[in-house]
Amino acid sequence: MPHFHIPLQSGSDAVLKLMQRRYDTTLFHKKTEWIKKRMPDAFIGLDIIIGTRGETDELFTESVTFIENIPFSQLHVFVYSERPNTQALKITPVVSPVIKKERSQHLLALSEQRRVQFYNNYLGKTARTLFEHAKKGNFMYGFTENYLKTEIPYQKALCNTIQEIKMTGWNSDKTALTANIK
């Protein structure tokens, strides 16, 4: 399946080092480029942690610049929270809750922009989609092989089946693409 969910954590090598990660941004960039070269339709979701101790404004800006320059489809943004009795408690500076919220909102806006761009690339195209059993109002939802969320009118017979669909537009709240069964 051309869908990847990868824990980047930060786009700053200095922050990754503070987090004691065993990779750097150069390796991460090479891996995401490798994926996109071989699977151009791949959905790449990234986990990002913001507001870790030691994440200065400059390091956050460095992280954002790195993230903007890699081929991701969506971010999963997490706000750092303190854990008692950890080595991280020795790191300074501490990022204020207000700054954490601002940084989170900034990355969530970037994520939404990229998600919409990624989805727009598939309008009018067909895809195999697994429809789930959950019903929300008069609709049911499914995911394509590359993790596009799709919406069709609820049909019990389609629950937990894979269908060929054509993506036709956006649903009313822009959380999924509308589709027709082929």
Q: Are residues 86 and 131 both part of a single domain?
A: no
Q: Are residues 73 and 150 both part of a single domain?
A: no
pLDDT for residue 84 = 87
- The residues with which 36 forms a beta bridge, in sequence order, are none
Q: Which domain holds residue 151?
A: 126-181
Residues 6 or more apart whose CB falls under 8 angstroms from that of 125 comprise 166, 167
- What is the per-residue pLDDT across 134-158, written as a single tens digit (0 to 9) for each? 788 899 999 999 999 999 999 999 9
Residue spans of the chain under pLDDT 50: none
Residues 6 or more apart whose CB falls under 8 angstroms from that of 131 comprise 140, 141, 142, 152, 158, 159, 160, 161, 162, 163
pLDDT for residue 120 = 98
pLDDT for residue 135 = 80
Number of structural domains, the chain?
A: 2
Give the orientation angle of helix 57-68 with respect to helix 97-120, to 10 degrees: 10
Q: Where do runs of H (alpha helix) occur along the chain? A: 13-18, 25-38, 57-68, 97-120
